[in-house]
Amino acid sequence: MEAELQRLLEIATEAACAGGAVLKSYWGELQSVDHLTEKQPGDLVTIADQEAEKAVLSVLQRHVPSHSILAEESGASGGADGDPSYLWAVDPLDGTTNFAHQYPFSAVSVGLLREGVPVVGAIYDPFHDELFRAARGLGATCNRRPIRVSPTRNLNRSLLVTGFAYDRTRVRDNNYAEFCHFTHITQGVRRAGAASLDLAYVACGRVDGYWERGLAVWDIAAGAILVLEAGGQVTAYDGSDFAVGSGRILASNGFLHGVMVSELAKVQPLGIDLPFP
């Protein structure tokens, strides 16, 4: 099984790098954000998303035609006559809003689920030329060097990262209260705008923990296995088993996991009247 996982990891790597090459080619070439398409309010899509996805899918379809694929832009494909236990989750441009504004924090995320559980992940950040990789039992690396989660054991000494979903202006479960709460009891909370890289940064110890809601499978499949293989912990908000399709994730270096669960449980909705449509 180890040899097979290594093979699949190399396929994920090739796919992520192919997508990253496309993103580089479009960097700085897009029209103003005023001219971009929105799938829903605040959720941009660009030609770079679409072309990067084509490049990723081409690699996967060539190497593993029997596997199913779930990609952000084109949806489900493949696997009709193959093994339904394998599903590739592809985000060809995680951080589209950043990319469209020429803010260099975006990545290609390619994850593989087996029976619904993340087992392989490759995340490529073409703007910092960082390739994060992991496979179950094989460890986690950044640019082929082993990575490990941070040793931070006190929440008041920690740096966390999170994000806000595209529907944040339309629902009260929007992560605002959680963001404020953790900002007051840590050294800081960052919001960078790319879930896959948030998880990769937990895995390599740059940040100590991450939580977010409103996520899709392709946002977190690759990042989850990175954190686990780097020695971290990944669960639901309440500490129960992580379900990749739940839309919620809590990831940490492990040392802070219990206290993050406890603090999340304390948070109540903001006591202000937000302008929901």
At 139-155, the pLDDT tens digits run: 999 999 999 999 999 99
Report the CATH number of the 155-266 domain: 3.40.190.80
Q: What is the pLDDT of residue 73?
A: 86
Q: What is the pLDDT of residue 79?
A: 67
Neighbour tally for 224: CB within 10 Å: 26
Report the CATH number of the 2-146 domain: 3.30.540.10
Q: What is the pLDDT of residue 274?
A: 55
Question: For a pLDDT cut of 70, what percent of the chain falls above it?
Answer: 89
Domain boundaries, the chain: 2-146, 155-266
Whether 55 and 22 have beta carbons less than 8 Å apart is answered as yes
Q: Is the pLDDT reported for residue 266 higher than 50?
A: yes
What is the arithmetic mean of pLDDT over 202-224?
Answer: 97
At 124, the pLDDT band (50, 70, 90 cuts) reads very high
By CB atoms closer than 10 A (0-12, 13-18, 19+), residue 94 is buried
The helix (H) or strand (E) run that includes residue 73 is none
Question: For a pLDDT cut of 90, what percent of the chain falls above it?
Answer: 79
253 closest CA partner among 145, 159, 112: 159
Considering the entire predicted model, what is its pTM?
Answer: 0.92
Q: Is the pLDDT reported for residue 269 higher than 90?
A: no
- Tell me the pLDDT of the chain averaged across its residues: 91
At 16, the pLDDT band (50, 70, 90 cuts) reads very high
Q: What is the pLDDT of residue 256?
A: 98
Identify the residue whose tokens are 């696997």: 79
